[in-house]
Amino acid sequence: VEHLGSSITYGDLDRLSNGLANELRTLGVLPGSRVCLLVQRSIPMVIGILAVLKAGGQYVPLDGGIVTDSTLSFVLEDSGASIVLALKDYASRVPYSSSRHVVTLEDAITRLEQNPDQCTSPSDLSSPGDGVYVIYTSGKLLWPISFRSCVLIFFLLSQAPLENPREWTSCIATS
């Protein structure tokens, strides 16, 4: 995986996301848990997404470079995310709550690189109906997407590309 001149092997990506998934499990992430990602496109973002999925949680992506403080507060409250994975540049933007834990992705990755014994594969607790991610649109609508929905979308696209983007909504909403 490459991004802006940085790269990571698939083996390291797997190992580091395993370690972060184990840390998320320790923090209470199980199927049904939502974890906010306050990030921009980066290798740590990919590690964070995979870690949330391996822990069994649903990720709630927010672009730290453009999300307003009011939207960030709304999404954290509305989604019920008790854990936020954030890039260092955005961690200080997360509103304080005694029930919320902020994990700085760069620090977690450094810690895991120094402790490879913590990077074992977590047990798989997920099932097809579990959520994968939750999208908030500019209208602050909640769109939970399940594993089953993702599989359906990929299957449909492999059969025939959708010509009308509105068809995506009906595929997701009905699965």
User: What's the CA gap between 170 and 151, in Å, rounded?
Assistant: 15
3-state DSSP call for residue 26?
helix
List all residues 6 or more positions away from 25 whose beta carbon is below 8 Å from its beta carbon: 55, 56, 122
Local confidence pLDDT in tens for the 175 residues of the chain: 888 889 999 999 999 999 999 999 999 999 999 999 999 999 999 999 999 999 999 999 999 999 999 999 999 999 999 999 999 999 999 999 988 999 999 999 999 999 999 999 999 998 888 888 888 876 555 556 665 655 555 555 555 555 554 454 444 443 3
Strand order in the sheet with 142-146: 101-104, 83-86, 34-39, 58-63, 131-136, 142-146
What is the pTM for the complete model shown? 0.81
